[in-house]
């Protein structure tokens, strides 16, 4: 009996080691690639909308402070557990950027997380499975435009070095999202809570302000652990953990006692009552209108409160 247990235990250990070795060697998984049809609207209003959204979504990772273009940069603020991350060049350069990507290939990546070579984009890359067709098309139109931010830049990418955890998660938990099977309309802008929810989800505010990047649900954001309750642990540029604050309407540990005016000012300017409200990696959303910022506030006031006291990192 003892020999059977020893043999059985040894077999389990060997199977586990083989599985770990397989994941390490296999790395990030690949999937079939599609090129969905897409028709872009390239009028001035669409391009302006696309630039606005890209400035809030793409630029936070891909904007290089030296080039002032979307040439990519080392992601020193990303959790170290995901490995060594470099945001790639997404300018119009045909070799180093996405200049020779088709609009459909960009759409497929943004919707599903699958790159044109079939590789899955790791969990730290923004994916937009719920964004309205009009908005995601505007982003793509901007990325394919002649705006200086995306003009072809002859700057090679630095390959990322995903950790074993990233490889394991992308082979088990994190999977590509399905392409939408029906049109996704824009939110009703006359309904503040609907508009605010749309922005809070599609600008990925919930991703940082929920409990943990690893437990976020991008298809049903409300199912994310600790939805908007804060406590996630992004890093600043010095590698210091910056726990995200609780944005639920809890009156003790959240923003339940904040006025709409205070919230809008903090979100758009980064200032509250004469002191900094936002610190890197969170930056002011200067691109938002007062109406949009107020709508986000109204949405946050409508979600269930979570009692979760998050201690602010020292200056």
Cβ atoms of residues 111 and 179 within 8 Å: yes
In CATH terms, the fold of domain 192-302 is Cytochrome Bc1 Complex; Chain D, domain 2 (1.10.760)
What per-residue confidence (pLDDT) applies to 14? 47
Which residues of the chain does CATH 1.10.760 include?
44-172, 192-302
Higher model confidence: residue 18 or residue 227? Answer: 227
Confidence band of 178 (pLDDT split at 50, 70, 90): very high
d(CA 89, CA 71): 4
For the ranges 2-16, 156-170, 232-246, 280-294, the lowest mean pLDDT is seen at 2-16
Closest CA relative to residue 249, chosen from 241, 260, 257: 257
Tens of pLDDT along 202-258?
A: 999 999 999 998 899 999 999 999 999 999 988 877 778 889 999 999 999 999 999
Q: For residue 21, what are the contacts with CB-CB under 8 A and spacing of at least 6?
A: none
Cβ atoms of residues 110 and 139 within 8 Å: yes
CATH class of the domain whose range is 44-172: mainly alpha
Q: Compute the average pLDDT of residues 110-139.
A: 93
What per-residue confidence (pLDDT) applies to 251? 97
Could you write out the three-class secondary structure of the chain? CHHHHHHHHHHHHHHHHHHHHHHHHHCCCECCCCCCCCCCCCCHHHHHHHHHHHHHHCHHHHCCCCCCCCCCEECCCCCHHHEECEECCCCCCCCCCCCCCCHHHHHHHHHHCECCCCEECCCCCCCCCCCCHHHHHHHHHHHCCCCHHHCCCCCCCCCCEECHHHHHHHHHCCCCCCCCCCCCCCCCCCCHHHHHHHHHHHCCHHHHHCCCHHHCCCCCHHHCCCCCCCCCCCECCCCCECCCCCCCCCCCCCCCCCCHHHHHHHHHHCEECCEECCCCCCCCCCCCCHHHHHHHHHHHHHCCCCCCCCCCCCC
Confidence band of 197 (pLDDT split at 50, 70, 90): very high
What per-residue confidence (pLDDT) applies to 100? 95
Cβ atoms of residues 208 and 244 within 8 Å: yes
What per-residue confidence (pLDDT) applies to 314? 65
What per-residue confidence (pLDDT) applies to 311? 87
Confidence band of 6 (pLDDT split at 50, 70, 90): low
d(CA 296, CA 193): 7
Tens of pLDDT along 25-80?
A: 557 899 999 989 898 999 999 999 999 999 999 998 899 999 999 999 988 777 77
What per-residue confidence (pLDDT) applies to 153? 96
Task: Specify the pTM.
Answer: 0.89
């Amino acid at each position: 009996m003892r020999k059977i247990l020893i043999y059985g235990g040894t077999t389990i250990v060997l199977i586990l080691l083989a599985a770990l070795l397989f994941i390490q060697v296999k790395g990030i998984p690949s999937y079939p690639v599609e090129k969905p049809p897409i028709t872009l609207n390239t009028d001035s209003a669409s391009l302006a909308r696309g630039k606005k959204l890209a400035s809030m979504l793409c630029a936070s990772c891909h904007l290089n402070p030296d080039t002032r273009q979307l040439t990519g940069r080392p992601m020193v603020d990303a959790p170290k557990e995901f490995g060594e991350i470099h945001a790639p060049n997404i300018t119009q350069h045909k070799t180093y950027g996405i200049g020779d990507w088709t609009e459909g290939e960009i759409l497929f990546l943004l919707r599903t997380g699958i790159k044109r070579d079939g590789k899955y984009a790791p969990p730290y890359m923004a994916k937009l499975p719920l964004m309205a067709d009009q908005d995601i098309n505007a982003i793509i139109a901007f990325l394919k435009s002649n705006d200086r931010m995306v003009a072809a830049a002859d700057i090679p990418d630095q390959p990322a070095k995903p950790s074993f955890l990233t490889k394991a998660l992308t082979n088990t938990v994190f999977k590509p999202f399905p392409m939408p099977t029906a049109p996704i309309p824009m939110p009703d802008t006359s309904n503040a809570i609907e508009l605010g929810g749309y922005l809070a989800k599609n600008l990925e505010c919930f991703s940082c302000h929920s409990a943990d990047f690893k437990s976020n649900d991008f298809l049903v954001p409300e199912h994310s652990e600790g939805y908007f309750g804060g406590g996630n642990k992004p890093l600043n540029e010095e590698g210091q953990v910056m726990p995200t604050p609780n944005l639920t309407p809890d009156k003790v540990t959240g923003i339940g006692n904040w006025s709409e005016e205070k919230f809008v000012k903090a979100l758009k300017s980064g200032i509250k009552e004469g002191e900094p409200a936002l610190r890197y990696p969170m930056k002011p959303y200067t691109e938002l209108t007062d109406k949009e910022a107020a709508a986000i506030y109204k949405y946050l006031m409508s979600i269930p409160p979570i009692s979760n006291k998050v201690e602010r990192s020292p200056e």
